[in-house]
Amino acid sequence: MVLVLPGIADNLQSLEAGGIGRAIREEWPDADVALIEMTIGYYKDGRAMPELHEIVRAAREKGYRQVWIVGASLGGMGALLYDATFPCEVDGIVLLAPFLGDRRVLDEVRKAGGLSHWQAPPAATPGPDNWQSQMWRRAKAWSSHPGGDQRVWLAYGDRDKFAPNMALLTPAVPPKHVITGPGIHEWTSWTPLASQVFADIDRETMSRDVGACSAP
């Protein structure tokens, strides 16, 4: 099962029009793809993570061997935040030009000298006042794996408005799992990049047990 989370300006219709479901199925014909209309309101009122967790749990109960989350922009933030809130619950995470927080937090990571030198706060349940620091805390946990967390893929276009921030996250992602190409901050770029990601995910990755993940 592959769950796709939308960007900030998306709804179900724009997700369908962007072709992401078709692109994933072309590379993984045996996968079921669910487009999740988890818009900004779900994050603002605190429903996003609990409701996404219920979707993941339901997929497990139906017998899906693996559950992956794909998120673009706001949805990429949501995918990272989900793994911060419920560590190791999913087998794969594909981040398409994710929103990584406001300038204050990004500058804090930069000024520290990058993710490896940044001092993460103590573990806590992400909420309105701490979600950004807890999200980055999870990214730092990903980076503790030699070469980055093997479950995670990152893809973005060279002219994406968030491209300058992606280098802060790359220590958490295996180098071979970072995919770049021509493009901007839209599905016209994200869908081809996602196709490349799912084409590159090999049989070894598909057969890996989620137990390889480390909780914070």
Q: Over the chain, what HEC string results? A: CEEEECCCCCCHHHHHHHCHHHHHHHHCCCCCEEECCCCHHHHHCCCHHHHHHHHHHHHHHCCCCCCEEEEECHHHHHHHHHHHHCCCCCCEEEEECCCCCCHHHHHHHHHCCCCCCCCCCCCCCCCCCCHHHHHHHHHHHHHCCCCCCCCEEEEEECCCCCHHHHHHHHHHCCHHHEEEECCCCCHHHHHHHHHHHHHHCCHHHHHCCHHHCCCC
CB atoms within 10 A of CB 207: 9
Angle between helices 187-200 and 20-27 (to 10 degrees): 20
Tens place of pLDDT for every residue, the chain, 216 residues?
Answer: 999 999 998 999 999 999 999 999 999 999 999 999 999 999 999 999 999 999 999 999 999 999 999 999 999 999 999 999 999 999 999 999 999 999 999 999 999 999 999 999 999 999 989 999 999 999 999 999 889 999 999 999 999 999 999 999 999 999 999 999 999 999 999 999 999 999 999 655 555 554 467 766
pTM value is: 0.94
Q: What value, to the nearest 5°, has the Cα angle with vertex 185 and ends 193 and 29?
A: 30
What is the β-pairing status of strands 92-96 and 178-181?
unpaired
**Alpha-carbon gap, residue 26 to 45, rounded angstroms:** 35
